[in-house]
Amino acid sequence: MSRIQKIIRPEIQALTAYHVPSSDGYLKLDAMENPYTWPAVAKESWAEMLKTLPINRYPDPQAQFVKDELRTLMGVADQYEIMLSNGSDELIQILAMAIAKPGATILAPEPSFVMYKMVATLCGLNYVGVPLTEDYELDHAAMSAAIKDHQPELIYLAQPNNPTGNLWDTDVMEDIIKSAPGLVVMDEAYTAFTDADFIEWLDRYDNLLIMRTLSKVGLAGLRLGILIGHSEWLNEFDKIRLPYNVNILTQASALFALEHYDMLKVQTEQIRADRVLLMQSLTEISGLTIYPSEANFVLVKTQNGMASIWHEELKNRKILIKNLHGSHALLQDCLRITVGSADQNEELCNALKEIAQSGAIQ
Ligand SMILES: *Cc1c(COP(=O)(O)O)cnc(C)c1O
């Protein structure tokens, strides 16, 4: 198939497609999903509403009702614009396309969200990953030096960071935003699980954008990403966005969910409370080190060389978590566990205890 080799860009040929393992019959604690569904009455009125939608028509290209509702809920000031997308993954792609001139660079601390690098590669951009410190803090000196050397068009700061779960020093982040020659995106995908909130920084920095998503609060299946920022920037990105990127079912369902946000709030508050209990239970299992978390997942370090064994043993017990070992030097022996419902967390901890006692782990 030399034609493929001739036609397809070499960096694409070198990639392996983003792999999502089949999860049929598993307890899914690998993808930061909300474990809860909606009360029956809410489901009922949602289904009633869906019936009325004109799916023979194109959706509102601006999804204006959804934006208005989000503006109120998130307290977005009038002077800022909101742009919506097919998940925040699509925003990452749109931002990359907007800056994709020869030699342009995206920079991010590492380890962080894998899409930053993947999309940079897909769009033919330079990507610079700056390692975090051993305890997953920003390396201030290394970040400053990399910004100076590479003059990145775009910098990503995920807060809380995925997959480490922590928040970084605010002074260091402000210094990064000030010294950045281009844009800085604060990716607040886990905003529902932390008190940290950087939306007010928009008032201070005109090179800052805030990115959010409805995926982690219980609407992963809808695919709705949210970009908030100065209209001068967002007007440019809006030219790249395909006109009907948020479909009518997503628009209507998101609006419904946002109008019933109390229902989601109860769930995310429950997850926050259960995170504390889960972390407590995990510390009681021998062989595991638990890192602090401001998100709906917990980073766990196993003893040397044991991550894949824990992962496999859980899989044998029909529980899926994320094995991070091998994905980055700083994630050696690491696993990432999504916080589930109280019952699910208990099932997980029981399985982990059983594995610890089984002799599978040396
Ligand atoms: C999950 C995640 C996203 C992607 O969210 P979608 O809206 O589902 O595409 C973005 N950023 C971070 C840091 C994430 O963990």
Q: What is the mean pLDDT of each run of 10 residues along the chain (362 residues)?
A: 90 82 91 96 97 98 97 97 98 98 97 97 96 98 98 98 98 98 98 97 98 97 98 98 97 97 97 98 95 98 97 97 97 98 98 93 78
Axis-axis angle for helices 140-150, 170-179 (nearest 10): 10
Say if CB 234 and CB 227 are below 8 A apart: yes
214 lines ligand 1 (CB under 6 A): no
pLDDT for the residue numbered 11: 84
pLDDT for the residue numbered 18: 74
Q: What's at 42, amino acid-wise?
A: A
Could you tell me the two tokens for 56? 């023979």
Q: Which ligand 1 atom is at minimum distance from the Cα of 295? A: 15
Show Cβ contacts of residue 194 under 8 Å, excluding neighbours closer than 6 positions: 159, 160, 167, 294, 295
Q: For residues 110 and 114, give the distance between their C-alpha atoms in angstroms, rounded to a whole number.
A: 9
Q: For residues 318 and 330, give the distance between their C-alpha atoms in angstroms, rounded to a whole number.
A: 28
Say if CB 279 and CB 293 are below 8 A apart: yes
Q: What's at 3, amino acid-wise?
A: R
Q: For residues 278 and 348, give the distance between their C-alpha atoms in angstroms, rounded to a whole number.
A: 9
Say if CB 170 and CB 157 are below 8 A apart: no
Could you tell me the two tokens for 255? 């609006």
Ligand 1 centroid from CA 223, angstroms: 10
Q: Which ligand 1 atom is at minimum distance from the Cα of 113? A: 13
Q: Which residue, judged by its Cα, is nearest atom 1 of ligand 1?
A: 189
Helices (H), 55-192: 64-74, 88-99, 115-122, 140-150, 170-179
Could you tell me the two tokens for 99? 């800056």
Say if CB 96 and CB 84 are below 8 A apart: no
Q: Which residue, judged by its Cα, is nearest atom 5 of ligand 1?
A: 88
Q: For residues 91 and 88, give the distance between their C-alpha atoms in angstroms, rounded to a whole number.
A: 5
Say if CB 216 and CB 239 are below 8 A apart: no
pLDDT for the residue numbered 215: 97
Best of 213, 216, 217 for a ligand 1 pocket test (most atoms within 8 Å of beta carbon): 213
pLDDT for the residue numbered 16: 83
113 lines ligand 1 (CB under 6 A): yes
Exposed/middle/buried for 75, CB within 10 Å: 0-12, 13-18, 19+? exposed
Closest CA to 256 of 212, 214, 193: 214
Ligand 1 centroid from CA 213, angstroms: 7
pLDDT for the residue numbered 194: 98
Distances (CA, A) of 22 to 19, 134, 189, 356: 9, 33, 24, 26
Say if CB 214 and CB 254 are below 8 A apart: yes
313 lines ligand 1 (CB under 6 A): no
Could you tell me the two tokens for 167? 């928040």
Ligand 1 centroid from CA 89, angstroms: 6
Ligand 1 centroid from CA 336, angstroms: 15
